Structures are given as C-alpha cells and as structure tokens.
Amino acid sequence: MTDDDRLIDRVPQPPDVPSRLAAQIAFIVEVDRLKTVLRRSVLVADDRRENDAEHSWHLALMVTVLAEYADEPIDVGRTLKLVLLHDLVEIYAGDTFLYDEEGAATQEAREREAADRLFALLPDDQCAGFRALWDEFEERRTPEARFAKAMDRLQPLLLNYNNKGGTWRTPGVTDADVRRRKSVIGDASADLWSYARTLIAEGTRREWLPAADA
Amino acid sequence: MTDDDRLIDRVPQPPDVPSRLAAQIAFIVEVDRLKTVLRRSVLVADDRRENDAEHSWHLALMVTVLAEYADEPIDVGRTLKLVLLHDLVEIYAGDTFLYDEEGAATQEAREREAADRLFALLPDDQCAGFRALWDEFEERRTPEARFAKAMDRLQPLLLNYNNKGGTWRTPGVTDADVRRRKSVIGDASADLWSYARTLIAEGTRREWLPAADA
C-alpha cells in the first residue's frame, strides 16, 4: 500500500483547508477502515463477527462502568483514550487471533510498522501523542494501561460465555489455555479476575469450553 | 419487550456473582445491541451502512483529535463519555434519520422511555450518572455537550462528502437543508463550522448535493 491508498485521496478534497486541519481530517477518514477489520468473536446481539471499531467502543463503555474495580486508581479519561485507539494499528496489520501462535510471532513488528504509518497522517505533535498512548497500552506499565488491557481480555470472554462457547470452540483450546491468556485481567483487578475465572469455570462445567484434564 | 428479553437472560449466568457486578454485566452485555442499530450513513471504507456502535467510536476518536478547535475549553474525558453513550437509547428507540420530520415528532418521548428502561439495568448510582450524561448531551447547555453534538453532526458530513453524496442524495434534501441541520456545529467551534460549510459548498459545486436555488 502506498500513500495514494489513503481513503481521503479517493475524492478531491475542498480547497483552502488549513494544513493542520486537513491532516487531522485525513486521519479521521482513514480510521473508518477499522470498521472493516473483523475479529473472531461473534456478537451476542446478532449472528455475525464483531469488528474492531465496535469492539473498541464496547471496551470504552466497559471502562466507564467498571472503573471502580481497578485495584489502583485510574484516570478514566486516559484509559478511555487507550482503549479507543489500541486496535488502530490493525487497520494495516490485521487482527491477530489470541490463540494464533504463528501470527503472534510477527505481530509486534507488523503492528509497529502500522503504527508508524498510520499515526504519521496526523500533525507531528498528535502523532507523538497517539504513539505514546499506543506504546503505553502495549507496555502495560501504568494502572490505566493494565486496566485497558483487562477490558480487552474480559470483553470477548463475555461474548463467548453468552454465546455458549463462541471462539472457545476453536480446536485445541482448553480451559487452561483460556485461563492463562486471560490472567492479565488479574494485573488490573482482583474482583474482575475472580469474575472472569467464574465465567471460565462455569463455561467449562456447562461444556461450552473443553476442560484440559477431560 | 419485557425484562425477560435482556440478552443476559438467554443463557444461565454463573452463580455467586455480587449483585452490583451482576447488574453492571447485564448492562454491558445488553448494550451489545447497539452494534445492530443501523444508521442511514454508508461507510467510506466499505459499501454498507454504519451502525451506532461504530459511529459512537468514530465520534470519540474525533473528540480526541479535534478537541483543540472547541471555542470554549472542554473536559475531554467527559466529552468522550457523552459521545460514547449518546446513542444508547436507540437500542430500544431505533435510529431517527436527521431528515425524517415525522419520526422527529415522537423521537423525544420514545428516547426518554428507552433511557429510563436501559439505564435502569445499572446500579442506582450509575443509572443516575448515565442519565445525567445523556440529559447533558441532549440539552447542550455545557461546552462538552455542544462539542459532542458538533462531532455527531460533522461525522456523517465527512462520510457523505467522501462518498460523493451518500445520504445527501435523499429526495428533497438540498444544500440549504444540510446547512441548517448542521449549523449546531457553529455553537461549539467556529473553525469546524467553517470547514463544514466548505464541505457543503464544495459538495454542492460538484453536484453531489442539490442546490436549493438550482
């Protein structure tokens, strides 16, 4: 893909727009692509796969409702920004399924390249700001980033449980795998990790998720 | 629809979840429905209609990028919450098209009833908090609410322009109608209203939108 593939370049833009605003608009139009990046998870409300934009919105709403369960105080506004932009790199790098070991090997490099390219559409100061927020989310060194990551792991668990399995039914996946991949929830909130383990245990008991020792 | 129609009631929930958390989870699962409420607008990145969850996410990202154009200082975190939840009532009330005069007549009553019902899923304190934020958005008496509303009006304008018309091609709609319906952008930001008028004028010049005086 070259710079000519920006969505904004498909139609002539109006003349005399200040260059800073024009760059911001180019970014805002470009991120429309996030609505076309499909995840593996299936909605509860409909029988189709979720896309990254819907997923990001859902995480933001979860932050608003569940912030009180954070073990360390969090700045809700910054946590919202972290979840709103955390998947943007998938516009160019694609979604990597949580249980895809092969994709995981190249994921970091692909996503860094995508971040470089996407955030460069913005004016320099905002490019740096978005990149810093994305790095913060990835590195999980702040309470906000840990809580954002916990939401990112809890949300598909809610979809799977309420779909009586969903992606839990991926061949080879067991309750032990799910527990291991979801354990980062416990880095942000003991209460929500306890709830997540309850969902996994109850889903296993109901045979929506195979038990490792079965 | 009765309370039995909550998405959470479709499958047995795990036992021994604290009642406050169980109520919050019921709300979080219920709002999955927002991903199934279709708007009239068509994406730029794909040839299909946008849903309310994607739209809400897009507004939140626009707040993050464009906050500097607010004519009065805004609290970005609260503005994010306003756009993230502003369309939730459409889960039960449906989307009312901006140029649908008939739907507009009953819209307020339908949406108030939907808000009462949806937010009641939450614990009382959060029900009151969400309702206050939704009322704030609707009443537009704060700089945050005016900016949130401006994003809600600017975003479909960006989709329409970059689709060479989109819903501008609704029979009977002219540039004068669009300018009138979009003028609330000017209540939040002179710069963004100037940009919006440029989009409308250029779209009219290119015949993607009929001129009232044509």
Q: Is the pLDDT of residue A106 over 90?
A: no
The pLDDT-based confidence of A4 (bands split at 50, 70, 90) is low
> Which of A17, A66, A162 lies closest to B7 in CB terms?
A162
Which amino acid makes up residue A114?
A
Residue A68 burial by Cβ neighbours in a 10 Å radius (0-12, 13-18, 19+): middle
pLDDT tens per residue across span B102-133: 778 888 899 999 999 999 999 999 999 999 99
Q: Does B154 touch chain A (CB under 8 A)?
A: no
Which one, of B111, B110, B63, lies nearest residue B88 by Cα?
B111
Residue B187 burial by Cβ neighbours in a 10 Å radius (0-12, 13-18, 19+): middle
- Chain-chain contact of A56 with B58 (C-beta, under 8 angstroms): no
For tokens 């608009």, the residue is A25
pLDDT tens per residue across span A10-36: 999 999 999 999 999 999 999 999 999
Residue B9 burial by Cβ neighbours in a 10 Å radius (0-12, 13-18, 19+): middle
- Chain-chain contact of A7 with B62 (C-beta, under 8 angstroms): no
> How many angstroms away from the CA of B99 is the closest CA of chain A?
23
What integer pLDDT is reported at residue B193 of this predicted model? 98
B64: which chain A residues are within 8 Å (Cβ-Cβ)?
Answer: 81, 84-85
The pLDDT-based confidence of B96 (bands split at 50, 70, 90) is confident
**Distances from the Cα of A168 to the Cαs of A48, A207, B162, in angstroms?**
16, 10, 39
What integer pLDDT is reported at residue B3 of this predicted model? 47
DSSP label of B170: S
- All structural domains of chain B: 17-205 (1.10.3210.10)
| Dist CA A160 CA A123 (whole Å) | 39
Q: What is the ipTM, given to two decimal places?
A: 0.95
| Dist CA A189 CA A194 (whole Å) | 9
**Distances from the Cα of B11 to the Cαs of A49, A203, A208, B36, in angstroms?**
19, 11, 11, 20
| Dist CA A93 CA A121 (whole Å) | 16
> How many angstroms away from the CA of A198 is the closest CA of chain B?
7
The answer, as to whether pTM is greater than 0.80, is yes
Q: Sign of dihedral through CA atoms B188, B203, B98, B33?
A: negative
For tokens 């509303």, the residue is B149
Between positions 175 and 194 of B, the ones with CB within 8 A of A are: 191
> How many angstroms away from the CA of A202 is the closest CA of chain B?
6
What percentage of chain B carries pLDDT values higher than 70?
98
What percentage of chain A carries pLDDT values higher than 70?
98
